[in-house]
């Protein structure tokens, strides 16, 4: 199949597919006119790549993990595992930061509500009409 069909079957943009190939994550054969051709296996490959990207992994990390999928060996498995541990730790740190940011926003919202309630009582207007946004 050509790149447009692979794009349609996976939902990945043509640009993304070219990027995956540039990064060595996806391969194609070329016709004599230079068009990329893919196999049915490549549909699964692209869907797998999309899941890894959606999980927040970078193309560098994916490139380290893929040999474990493509050619399992002790060396490939160990390298992939070490990288996945680092990525999981990075994601956990990011989640912690996001929770702290959400908690700070909750505090600001509570201060805003309290301010609106006291302003409404002092002015005699409904609190809903007092807003920062």
* Whether 66 contacts 34, CB under 8 Å: no
Report the predicted TM-score, pTM, of the whole model to 2 decimal places.
Answer: 0.66
For residue 37, the cross-strand partners are 2, 29
Higher pLDDT, 22 or 121: 22
pLDDT, one tens digit per residue, over 37-91 is 999 999 999 999 999 999 888 999 899 889 888 888 888 888 888 888 998 998 8
SS3 string, 19-32, reads: HHHHCCCCCCEECC
């Amino acid at each position: 199949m050509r790149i447009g069909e692979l794009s349609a079957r996976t939902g990945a943009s043509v640009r993304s597919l070219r990027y995956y190939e540039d990064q060595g994550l996806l391969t194609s054969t070329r016709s004599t006119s230079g068009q990329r051709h893919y196999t049915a296996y490549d549909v699964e490959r692209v869907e797998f790549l999309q899941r890894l990207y959606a999980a927040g992994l970078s193309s560098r990390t994916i490139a380290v993990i893929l040999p474990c999928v493509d050619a399992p060996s002790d060396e490939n498995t160990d390298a992939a595992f070490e990288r996945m541990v680092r990525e999981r730790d990075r994601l956990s740190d990011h989640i912690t930061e996001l929770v702290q940011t959400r908690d700070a926003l909750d505090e600001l919202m509570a201060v805003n509500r309290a301010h609106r309630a006291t302003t409404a009582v002092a002015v005699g207007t409904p609190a809903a009409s007092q807003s920062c946004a």
